[in-house]
Structure 1
Amino acid sequence: MDEAERPTSQREAPRPSWARRRRRGLILAAIIAVSLALVSCAGYRVVPPDALVSPVRIYVIDYGKHASLVLPGGPMGLVEFSWGDWNYFALGNKGLGAGLEALFASQGSTMLRRDFPPIHDAAGWFADGRAERVLTLEVDADPAMRLYESLAERHRAGLETALTHPDGSVFVKDPAPYGMFNNSNHELARWLRQMGCRVSGYTIWAKFSVDPPGKVIDPPGR
């Protein structure tokens, strides 16, 4: 019997396409991710190093979903470094599908560098309306400089792939794998540890706190 003559009830249902199966898999992964996020909502607690020999001030900018590190250095005085998924972070594809792909099927990571002059008041950190809060703390100059040089070299290695955003952020492709359990906030926690900070806790989202003498800078008026 031809397919056209076969009763509707006996016809085989069309098999789900690869894209549909992939979408279902991502939805399932999202459910798992949300469950894990609820479990890991305590966040990262940062304890600054003590007995500093030559202190310098560093900053952690909390953007909500991700955070970045600001170190002294570069031609303008301060340098922001951050790391993330290339498609989501650098190309700006931030829909639900792109977010799930970044967490569970990332096609590559990116390193961001942005140079800017020193900021002397709280309002300056929130001028572009993106930051939710800023942590400030002191570390020794030597490990801070070593980390700066390491991150700067890592960024230079990818300059052939550079993508510059209007705010001066320069994104380059990075070889390190990105995923749910190795995202921008986990990378930032590693950077802080390299400068002698004690970092405890765990989180998928950007949720950092700092012990005294570190401080939190909130947007003016909050």
Structure 2
Amino acid sequence: MSIRWRSLAIALLAPVLSACSATILPPSQPSDPVIVVLLDHGRHSSLVLPDSSGGALRYSYGDWDYYVMRDTALASGARALFRRTTAALGRQHLMVAPESDSLLLALHVEVVQSWRIEVERSRVTRLRDDLEQQFASALDTRVYSPWFGVDFVRHPTPYTLNHNSNYLVGVWLTELGCEIRGQPILSSWTVRARRGD
């Protein structure tokens, strides 16, 4: 597919993709609650988890060339949308807790909207341990991005339109006990309590 046709396809898909959204239903009354924070950066999402020392870890996912190497040319964007491309797992250590009012100030990226979500502590520990293991297993590919203030490593699952940052953040939230209804291809979240809560 030529660049011209890919550009046209992106333009035609944009209204459809922007209509895709998801609703997050957090778990009801976790017995040992802890706060995680979902960040909407405009087109993609990331997730902040508490670490074991009172700070936080922000995890993100994206296309390696576009996101990590900052190759934001149209051809690179089209490749990320229409092909299976090399993916990145991002990790940023923050010195503030997720529930801190200064969390957003500690980030190096724009945040359009954020949500504090209460989940079960044991699930957070399990997810954080899994993500830390994934990160450690690819440490030989690590690249630091001063643009984002994030360390990136290669992620084993290729990046695609249907397996992007919003999809993976939804998977992580599901592992934390949330229910996800819908699929935000371009970051478009709603968080609401379950009925009866």
- TM normalised by structure 1 equals 0.78
Worse-matched range after superposition: 96-105 or 132-141: 96-105
Q: CA RMSD in A?
A: 2.1
1:32–1:74: structure 2 CA closer, same or farther, 3 Å change rule?
Answer: farther
TM-superposed CA distance for 1:61, in Å, is 1.0
Residue 147 of structure 2 is aligned to residue 169 of structure 1:
no
Larger-gyration structure (1/2): 1
Q: Look up the match of 1:15.
A: none
User: Could you give the per-residue CA deviations for residues 41-100 of structure 1, whole angstroms, max 9, x where no partner exists?
Assistant: 141111110131110100011110101000011556200001110001111112322211
Q: Look up the match of 1:151.
A: 131
CA contact (8 A) 2:20 2:186 kept: no
Q: Look up the match of 1:55.
A: 33
Q: Look up the match of 1:80.
A: 58
Point out which structure has higher relative CO (alpha carbons under 8 A, 6+ apart). 2
Unpaired runs of 5+ residues, structure 1, are: 1-20, 214-222
Quick check: which one's strand share is greater?
A: 2
Q: Look up the match of 1:98.
A: 76
Aligned counterpart in structure 1 of residue 42 of structure 2, from 64, 82, 95? 64
Q: Look up the match of 1:125.
A: 104
Unpaired runs of 5+ residues, structure 2, are: none
TM-superposed CA distance for 1:35, in Å, is 4.9
Q: Look up the match of 1:203.
A: 184
Distance between the aligned counterparts of 2:150 and 2:109, measured in 1?
16
CA contact (8 A) 1:111 1:172 kept: yes
TM-superposed CA distance for 1:168, in Å, is 3.3
Q: Look up the match of 1:193.
A: 174
Distance between the aligned counterparts of 2:187 and 2:79, measured in 1?
19
TM-superposed CA distance for 1:102, in Å, is 0.7
Distance between the aligned counterparts of 1:178 and 1:31, measured in 2?
20
Q: Look up the match of 1:179.
A: 160
Distance between the aligned counterparts of 2:109 and 2:174, measured in 1?
29
Q: Which amino acid is the alignment partner of residue 79 of structure 1?
A: L
- Identical pairs, percent: 28
Distance between the aligned counterparts of 1:27 and 1:42, measured in 2?
20
Q: Look up the match of 1:109.
A: 87
